[in-house]
Amino acid sequence: MTDKDRTISDRIQKQLDDMTRAERQLALSILENYPASGLGPLAALAKGANVSVPTVARMVQKLGYKGYPDFQTDLRDELGAIAKGPIAKHETWAGAAPSEHILNRFTDAVIDNIRNTLAHIDPAAFDRACALAADRDRHLYIVGGRITHTLAEYMFLHMQVIRPNLTHVQSTSNTWPHYLLNAAEGDVFIIFDVRRYENNTLKLAEMARARGAKIVLFTDQWRSPVHRLADISLTSRIIVPSAWDSLATPMLLVETMISAVQTLNWDDTKGRMQELEDIFDQTKLFRKFT
Amino acid sequence: MTDKDRTISDRIQKQLDDMTRAERQLALSILENYPASGLGPLAALAKGANVSVPTVARMVQKLGYKGYPDFQTDLRDELGAIAKGPIAKHETWAGAAPSEHILNRFTDAVIDNIRNTLAHIDPAAFDRACALAADRDRHLYIVGGRITHTLAEYMFLHMQVIRPNLTHVQSTSNTWPHYLLNAAEGDVFIIFDVRRYENNTLKLAEMARARGAKIVLFTDQWRSPVHRLADISLTSRIIVPSAWDSLATPMLLVETMISAVQTLNWDDTKGRMQELEDIFDQTKLFRKFT
DNA sequence: ACGGGCCTGTGATAAATTTTTCACAATTCT
DNA sequence: AGAATTGTGAAAAATTTATCACAGGCCCGT
């Protein structure tokens, strides 16, 4: 037993590989809300993990404890030890690393970006953008640039399941003018443009605008020049301790929009989602919900 | 009941003055090792406080609980909330929207994912992964699946600037076996695989492994089967109130790794970035940054 | 100092809950 | 098909909790 196995959490994680499905399910549940969930009654823990009572009993014994109460005692001791430690310790995300570690510095920055972004966002505008993206009568164009096309494609992949009638355009390619030939009044362009802003993207936006299309823009705090043409601009803070910017926050917004649009289109999407559920079942990670 | 009474600790402290000798003795004992001591059996708590069993029973009822288990439940809930960190304390992110708005619910979930992911990550393993990714002598393969290839590509785009000698492989394409022909012992595969896990990805990993390559895996909390072949697994929590999973947290890790690798290779990267700038300037792909 | 009122501990017991275990069926994996 | 895993339902065992009555102690005012 090395240095790393001091906490029960570590020990559980280490054994994760050798566990069976139900055990792993249980272990993850314990880790999920650690250590509170393990301090309640055995039956509650079992229920929370969607696992049977004997499974819990069997596992704690596999972990080397005489019984569940024994396991709880260990958990409590650990909890007590933690609380006694350097309390006022500046909060670190990866507790096992010093706060100067890049993991902590970077995460700090991203959390800060998220907080700042959400604080300044206009929920009404966001909702309008979602409504536009959900409208299947409008053709939906999703446009990304050199780096942002990964975000654009990510959105495209999901929207494809949610609704028909959409196109993924890469503004850096030289084929995008072709797409615009088909753009009609009322169509929707979701455009991604963060610094350094791309001329192609701006041109594309201008032409889209000229054809009477609606423009939803994902950009950064310094705002792409496209924002003057956009009906709705969603700006994210993207600075991190790195030579590059972080797309984590824009991605959060993208995912949120996907979720919102899917809800708006739920009636129509339900069928397709059922298929996904079936595939989901095949992963055999979970019990079926009965 | 005001703002200050949110935690049980606060409530107990407030009543401290009105308590009798034995009660105060008990209360201080609870506070002494909070909340661990309150989560054990009643008798143990009594003994630890040098107080009789009925005293404990009487006091928890005075505190307004139906019984000791009731009190414990409250303590556990509080512990669960605390463990989530001050950030997750039901803060509304987009202040302009109600907390039920999807923006707030989704952000809550993502922050929670980040917190949980970072809490369980092994910084040493992360550092080793970065070192592997930074090693120019090893060819670097970046592998993504159907959805995750966007993340893979995102990483690839940045790594391209940082170091030479790398390839982006899409496991869903049927061309990947060709890439493997060139893979040599000691080469590094960064593989992305979240549920639903893809057979192609697993096969690819197996072949890479067979050729003696190192494998770094980005996966979710349920862990892709690839993790058994991986030298280093970086697991993220990815659940959000949506029909899909969130790649925001894996993306955070990716960006952090990019930043770390770039620092490791900084001497060389500096020059390459400058060249890139020059090339972009020449092609006038970008507007100049003001 | 004294007595009354309150608090507290003792020891015991009943009640409630929780834990443990079992055998077997159902399911999943190989 | 056979082996391993997991769930079910139940019952027994163990532990924990809630209470009780009562005695001893402490504080307080007289």
pLDDT for B93 equals 64
Per-residue pLDDT band at B71 (split at 50, 70, 90): very high
**Smallest CA–CA distance from B91 into chain A, residue:** A115
Predicted pLDDT of residue A3: 46
Residue B220 pLDDT: 92
Residue B258: pLDDT over 70: yes
Instruction: Work out the average pLDDT over B81-90.
Output: 54
The pLDDT value given to residue A284: 46
| CATH code that applies to domain A8-84 | 1.10.10.10
In this complex, the answer to whether residue B46 has its CB under 7 A from any atom of chain D, a nucleic strand, is no
pLDDT tens digit sequence for A103-143: 989 998 999 899 889 988 989 999 999 999 999 999 999 99
Q: Which nt has its C1' nearest the CA of B68?
A: D17
pLDDT at B90: 44
Check residue A83 and give its pLDDT. Answer: 57
Is residue A16's beta carbon less than 7 angstroms from any atom in nucleic acid strand D? Answer: no
Q: Cβ of A197 under 8 Å from any chain B Cβ?
A: yes
Topology classification of domain A103-279: Rossmann fold (3.40.50)
Of A229-238, B44-53, B81-90, minimum mean pLDDT range:
B81-90
| d(C-alpha A15, C-alpha A31), whole Å | 13
**Both tokens assigned to A201:** 């993207």
Q: What is the pLDDT of residues A59-93, one digit of tens each?
A: 998 898 999 999 999 999 888 776 554 433 345 66
pLDDT range class, residue A157, cuts 50, 70, 90: very high
Mean of all residue pLDDT scores within chain B: 85
Residue A289 has pLDDT above 70, yes or no: no
The burial class, CB within 10 Å (0-12 / 13-18 / 19+), for A114 is buried
Q: Looking at residue A177, what is its pLDDT? A: 78
Q: Return the pLDDT at B8.
A: 85
Name the residue with higher pLDDT: B257 or A185: B257
Of residues B87, B126, B150, nearest to A150 (C-beta): B150
3-state SS string for chain B: CCHHHCCHHHHHHHHHHHCCHHHHHHHHHHHHCCCHHHHCCHHHHHHHCCCCHHHHHHHHHHCCCCCHHHHHHHHHHHHHHHHCCHHHCCCCCCCCCCCCCHHHHHHHHHHHHHHHHHHHCCHHHHHHHHHHHHCCCCCEEEEECCCCHHHHHHHHHHHHHHCCCEEEEECCCCCHHHHHHCCCCCCEEEEEECCCCCHHHHHHHHHHHHCCCEEEEEEECCCCHHHHCCCEEEEECCCCCCCCCCCHHHHHHHHHHHHHHHHHCHHHHHHHHHHHHHHHHHHCCECCCC
Report CA(A167)–C1'(D30) in Å, whole number.
96
pLDDT higher than threshold 80 for residue B222: yes
- Interval A171-193 mean pLDDT: 86
Does the domain made of B121-283 have the CATH classification 3.40.50.1010? no
Protein fold of B3-83: Arc Repressor Mutant, subunit A (1.10.10)
For B161-189, the pLDDT digits (tens) are 899 999 999 877 778 888 888 888 999 99
> Which pLDDT band holds residue A282 (cuts at 50, 70, 90)?
low
- Measured between CA atoms, the residue of chain B closest to residue A277 is B243
Domain segments of chain B: what residues?
3-83, 121-283
**What pLDDT is recorded for position A106?**
94
